[in-house]
Chain A
Amino acid sequence: MFTGGKSFVSSPPAFSNDAKRLLVCTGNTVSVFSTSTGLQTCELEGHEAQVTSVIVVPATNPASKVLCYCWTSSLDGKINYWDFAAPELMRTIDIRFRIHSMVIPSLLCQRTDSTGKLPVPDLYAYISTEDMKQEGKPSSFAIQKCNLTKSRLVCGVTLAETRKPRYVTISPSGKYIGTCEKRKLRIWEIPAKDSEHVGYKKVSLHHTRPITTMAFHPNERVVAAGDVTGRILLWRGVGRETFSNSKSSNGRMNMDREDMPGVRDTDDADSCTTWHWHSSEVNMLFFSSDGAYLYSGGKEGVLVVWQLDTGKKKFLPRIGSPLLYFINSPDPTLSSISCADNQIQLLRMPSMEILRSISGIKLLCSHMDMYEGFGSAVVFNPTAGLIAVPAENYRVQLYSLFDDREISQVQICERNHQPGDEITVKVNLVALSRDGSTMCTVETRLPEEGIGSLVTLKFWACGSQKKQISLSTVIYEPHRDAEISCIAFRPTGNMAVSSSHGGDFKVWVHRHELTPKDETVQRSGWTCHAVGSYKKKPMSTAAFSSDGSVLAVAADKVITLWDPDRNTLLAVIGDSLEPITNLTFVGKSEYLVSASASRGSKISNPQLTVWSMSKLCAAWSYRLDIEAITCSMDDCTFAVLARSKPNGSADKSSKHAEDVILLFNAEKAVPLSVWFVSEAQGGGLSFVSSDEDKVSGTLGTDEVLAYINGAREYVLLNPHSEQDISRQRDFTNLDETDTHGYASVYGELPEFSLKADQTAFPSMPSGKTWKGIFSGPSHALPPLPKLCSDFLESLLERRSGVVE
């Protein structure tokens, strides 16, 4: 199975010990990216469900910096131990609970007592688990302890039971772990010598608003928490009574509550201060490694750096998307921010500039579906294996299906996107010509109280590398103020058609014009070639036949066939029950497929119909709710993405509703193959001609079926055989020559070890021996035979020193 388009930001990433790699949880796998190039270097495959956390085993001494081990936990109930340099799976621990979060405090503590000779204590992990019970009952969540050395859960140790999955936060020193739970924080102290049976000291801190995130100070007992209103709370001296061992703290019990400003009721803290800058929910909090600064970020997409002592702020604005996680690396000049638009930004630290970004496929933005009639579907470029994804920030992302990598982004309209703003301008249609040379976009500005709405059609010329995309033509209000429903490119030649709900369609042609000044430079642009309408009916979709001779435009419930060059109506076919939503000519055959459905109404008669062009009548039809249709370029097969439930009744319980991809031959009404998929709403389907270098396993045909679901994850299927498409990805090699920080200026420091210190300066002992032998007055010298042996011995010693 060739899958891709996974979310990079489902859980926080982790840096490797040398800060040259970034481990990112991507669906069922962990992808390893190089921080110097931003490209993927390898992938850890082994989990069967989403990976929820990745923890790199920290280096205890400089020599072990090159060691690349990590622990991962996943929803399939397994904890894996990897060598991610190889990459190789070392161990698997199956605990049979879904794991939502995992921390390993002892990894962080070990650093202090790494002298070696002592027996290594058992490694304990604290995991947030979900116990899947029978159907119907709500599953229960708990924070449990797991002995990683002995590969089992520690019985009877349950720190907390909750109703929702909790994200467990750990302090940088590994001494405390905590979770936020509605309006309170729970903090546990992890004993220095962790064993299976040990008591935990616990502190709760309360607040009046739901708390969203928390962070521990690296070396003081300071805890920060962010709430849904954007406030940041900072407790100092947390757990002075509970956690400190000395008895002297009893005296504090008598102190007045006034000495503990801001602290609620019986919370165990010295003081609580509140900072308020964020206008909405705080998503991430992070203390800098020296503890002087606090990083915070939220929905506004602004990284705020608070100076802890003074409360002064510094900002990194305009990141453009809500911030989710902030991670710093062992290299003090590098850290990363995960943004909600599936992008990880690598920051150069003290100056906070974005070095590079690792971006996945753009996710469907949350409020796109709020506006009816705003298509936000991805479009495929079948020949190049590209998809164009309209993103929230007025850009279109071009994404390579086979490489699973972003190719480029195009700014469609010159506006800045602020996360959290009300949407007023939106890129709602994208179309790519078959050869990929032209892109067409439609953007709409919503009116304010009925004035100022604008639809703009833009044609873009793509360069050879798909990197340089330049604006070719801008057309304001192409169909008056009516919205454009569909854009289709003619497979042969420079022609496009745009149909509108306003009842007409326009045929656009690409014209070249010699500039008068320099006749070698061509000025080209798209101009309107013809306008057509049929009984003023709203035109919902349009399609060209594969040879480009016939243009089919759906006018409400009928299909009109036109000669695009002469703009004459050839025929009108069909009378479906519902408005037609989808039209496709089947390859080079004589068939036309149409799907009709009425969106929004409860009672609908969705239909999939195949029309014969030679007889101008329906060949066969099904009662199916079709989300997408695609046809292969050569033969007469086509595939449809059908939804098992009509659009109107998409409620919560439809989670297990199975949507289906059906592969048909246009001549027969019996499907050739069937695949069951989920989350088909807003999904897309296309035949994509495969690149033989990248994909193996497509015997005979060179077309694969690409399916992308509503969550923008895609899968490539082999339409003609059961054989799976395997993937041979060529990862770029990790660039090892790159150095950072001190090393980049002064070069690598020589490795020091205590042993080496003792035997350093090998020439010195010999000199010393000479001195020792011949020091003193001559009469006190030992007799010669004795001296001779000493002398020879010193020579021997010197040799051995050199050898060593």
Chain B
Amino acid sequence: MAEAFPVKPKLRPTSSKLTPTPEAKYWRSFKIPKDIETTPSKSFTFPINSIAFSPLAPHDFVATHSASVSIFSGKTLEPKPTISSFSDTAAAVSFRCDGKLLAAGDLTGTVHVFDAKSRSHLRRLKGHAAAVRSVSYPRAADKLHLFSGGDDSVVKYWDVTTEKCVFNLLGHKDYVRCGDASPISDEMFVSGSYDHRVRVWDVRVSNASSVMELNHEKPVESVLYLPSGGLIATAGGNFVKIWDVIGGGKLLYSMESHIKTVTALCMGKVARGSGEEAEENRILSVALDGYMKVFDYAKLKITHSMRFPEPLLSVGFSPDCSTRVIGTSKGNLYIGRRKAKVESEEVVGGFQWKIVEDDPGRKVLRPSYFRYFQRGQNLKPSEGDYLIKRPKKLKMAEFDKLLKKFRHREALVAALNRRNPESVVAVMEELVARKKLMKCVSNLDTEELALLLAFLQKYSTMPRYAGLLTRLANKVVELRAEDIKSSDQLRSYIRNLKRDVEEEIRIQQSLLEIQGIISPMLRIAARS
């Protein structure tokens, strides 16, 4: 027994990207909040060199650009007044572990320390002979010291209260452009330099040379201690490398999916559900190619990548997983925020189901009531009930119905009117299978022919449909030459079609040329 089959377009190859992974969904859920989208202060004219988040809630963050440091409220994302007491461009910024103080280095070689709340200038640490591009407070508990690295290739360990340099850590042979403090120890930190080396320092070892030296093989742009304190991620060139520090500086993995220089790294977290265990650490890396990549260093896999229209310079991620900030070389700040779910949960919690009981005095429904005819319609099945599913209604488009009635020309016109090229081609293929397409074409009146020609002009050079449509266009022109000649409108369609086809032929020829160039190379490559 036969059934009705609606006309279906050809299947397209599916790729896994079409269905977003939960992780991709998570990263896409960082959206620019509507209310700050329009405020101009999120965009600056100068490159945003550095971004830092306060370790304390509500996780204010700062961004350095030109000779000023902007502080944003972590709650509202509104910009607070900027600190602009720099004499040159500010290059690096870091919060103290309690979030009360803020250190920033500038290109004159001075490290400035501010009160994060009042923005009052507290200390000036002078000592670097060239620009300070790396400043970091210890991350664990030490509130008195500070590391900085400068273009004079010296890494300094400061005592902040006395504005004195405790150690000059020598060893780098080129600009020190990045550094990070260990998350578990106040005495350990790491610095990366343009001499391709990454050095791990321990201030408990007094002899002023590094504990460990890692060769990144490219000028190091960014370095990051991973939360365990045993792994280091370094970025430089167009790759990111993961090192095992405890295991003697072994290279674990090299992630090479950026196509331009990776400029910054930061830790990100994927929050799944609730609870501490549900959070998984990721490395966020941004590069000049405009991509932000999310790297899962447990599985050594890139789990998400996101494109931005400008070269990216800096990235920051709030410790509570709510905000993600990316700074670009053109001064734009992409602030993404996830919607908090806490509020909605409250709503759910406050709602209670009420059990509606029939009051015994209720009247028996009679056919004279309208409700009599609706009774039982909203009844939910109980657990033991056997559900008989209503047969699924077959959706029939208009052209399907017409095809079913063998009104072929009308079906073709109906499909053309829907302007969905896939369904039009599917209807045409069905007509070919019925050997009725030529008859349909010859029966079209002028307006419908115009519709068909417009469609052919638009899609006959598209590779997916070209196989059928170019030949059909040929046939249409052959069959309806007289009609086309007599109408100006149709002639203009044909002119456009001709132009498109000529363009396509040009493209094909140049592609053939390219193929001719490439194929000997491929052959040589295959031989070697």
Binding site for B on A (CB under 8 A): 318-320, 354, 393, 414-417, 422, 424-425, 445, 447-452, 454, 474, 476-477, 481, 513, 515-517
Contact = CB atoms under 8 A, between A and B. Distances in A.
25 contacts: A318-B2, A319-B1, A393-B2, A414-B8, A416-B2, A422-B435, A424-B433, A424-B434, A424-B435, A425-B433, A445-B432, A448-B432, A448-B435, A448-B437, A448-B438, A451-B468, A451-B472, A452-B468, A452-B471, A476-B11, A516-B16, A516-B21, A517-B19, A517-B21, A517-B22
B475 interface: yes
B429 interface: yes
B5 interface: yes
B10 interface: yes
Contacts of A319: 1
B429 A445 contact: yes
Contacts of A449: 438, 475
A417 B2 contact: yes
Interface in B390-443: 428-429, 431-438
A415 B5 CA distance: 6
A452 B22 contact: no
Interface residues of B, number: 27
Nearest to A450: B471
A493 to B, nearest CB: 24
Given A414-B8, A424-B432, 8 more contacts: A354-B1, A416-B5, A417-B2, A447-B432, A452-B432, A515-B16, A515-B19, A516-B22
Contact of B471 (A416, A451, A476): A451
B468 A320 contact: no
A372 to B, nearest CB: 19
A318 B471 contact: no
Contacts of A414: 5, 8
A476 B10 contact: yes
A447 B468 CA distance: 10
A268 B157 CA distance: 127
A341 B1 CA distance: 12
Nearest to A414: B5
A513 B22 CA distance: 17
A426 to B, nearest CB: 10
Given A320-B2, A417-B2, A516 B434 contact: no
A454 B467 CA distance: 10
A785 B143 CA distance: 141
B527 to A, nearest CB: 14
What 4 pairs across the A-B complex have the smallest Cβ distances? Answer: A452-B432, A318-B2, A451-B471, A414-B5
Contacts of A415: 5, 433
Contacts of B21: 516-517
Interface string B49-70: 0000000000000000000000
Nearest to A527: B13
Nearest to B434: A424
Contacts of B434: 424
Interface in B356-385: none
A424 B4 CA distance: 18
Which of B5, B22, B428 counts the most A-chain CB atoms under 10 A from its CB?
A: B5
Given A425-B433, A474-B11, A517-B21, A452 B5 contact: no
Contacts of A452: 428-429, 432-433, 437, 468, 471-472
Nearest to A353: B1
Interface of B: 1-5, 8, 10-11, 16, 19, 21-22, 428-429, 431-438, 467-468, 471-472, 475
Contacts of B10: 476
Contacts of B1: 318-320, 354
Considering residues B2, B5, B428, which has the most beta carbons from chain A within 10 angstroms of its beta carbon? B2
Nearest to B435: A448
Contacts of B8: 414
Contacts of A354: 1
Nearest to B23: A516
B392 to A, nearest CB: 16
Contacts of A425: 433
A139 to B, nearest CB: 41
A298 to B, nearest CB: 17
Contacts of A517: 19, 21-22
Contacts of A424: 432-435
A517 B429 CA distance: 35
B64 to A, nearest CB: 38
Given A354-B1, A452-B468, A513 B429 contact: no
Contacts of B475: 449, 451
Contacts of A393: 2
Nearest to B5: A414
Contacts of A474: 11
Contacts of B431: 448
A362 B11 CA distance: 30
B394 to A, nearest CB: 12
Contacts of B468: 451-452
B472 to A, nearest CB: 6
Contacts of A320: 1-2
A506 to B, nearest CB: 16
A408 to B, nearest CB: 15
A266 B68 CA distance: 119
Contacts of B471: 450-452
A457 to B, nearest CB: 12
Contacts of B3: 416
A337 to B, nearest CB: 12
Nearest to B425: A452
Which residue, of B16, B432, B434, has the highest number of chain A Cβ atoms within 10 A?
Answer: B432
A305 to B, nearest CB: 17
B437 A451 contact: yes
Contacts of B16: 513, 515-516
B433 A445 contact: yes
Contacts of A445: 429, 432-433
A414 B5 CA distance: 6
A515 to B, nearest CB: 8
Contacts of A422: 435
Contacts of B22: 516-517
Nearest to A451: B471
Contacts of A451: 432, 437, 468, 471-472, 475
Contacts of B433: 415, 424-425, 445, 452
A515 B475 CA distance: 45
B429 A516 contact: no
Contacts of A476: 10-11
A703 to B, nearest CB: 38
A450 B467 CA distance: 11
A316 to B, nearest CB: 10
Contacts of B429: 445, 452, 454
A757 B471 CA distance: 85
B471 to A, nearest CB: 4
Contacts of B19: 515-517
A79 to B, nearest CB: 37
A451 B434 CA distance: 13
A319 B4 CA distance: 13
Nearest to B474: A451
Contacts of B435: 422, 424, 448
Contacts of A447: 432
Contacts of B436: 448
A414 to B, nearest CB: 4
Nearest to B469: A451
A370 to B, nearest CB: 15
Contacts of B467: 477, 481
A513 B19 CA distance: 14
A131 to B, nearest CB: 44
Instruction: Select the residue from A320, A393, A452, A516 with max chain B CB neighbours within 10 A.
Output: A452
Nearest to B436: A448
Nearest to B6: A414
Nearest to A514: B16
A399 B468 CA distance: 37
Contacts of B11: 474, 476
